[in-house]
Amino acid sequence: MRANENNLSVEYIPMVFVADHVLNGGRNGAMAAFAAHKLRTDEMKAFVTTTPSGRDDDVIQLSYLIRENEQGRLTYIVSQDLFTDHVRSGLISAELLDSRLLSFAFLADSREVINYCHTSRRRSSGVVMSQSW
Q: Nearest Cα to 131, choosing from 23, 25, 14, 8?
A: 14
Yes or no: say if 117 and 109 are a contact pair by the CB < 8 Å rule: no
Q: Nearest Cα to 47, choosing from 13, 76, 92?
A: 13
Architecture of the domain made up of 2-130: 3-Layer(aba) Sandwich (3.40)
Distance of CA 110 to the CA centre of its chain: 19
What is the three-class DSSP state of 101? Answer: strand
Yes or no: say if 14 and 44 are a contact pair by the CB < 8 Å rule: no
Taking the chain (133 residues) in runs of 10, the rounded mean pLDDT of each run is 66 79 76 75 86 86 92 86 94 92 71 56 37 39
pLDDT of residue 94: 93
Handedness of CA 15, 17, 22, 24 (dihedral sign): positive
Structural domain boundaries in the chain: 2-130
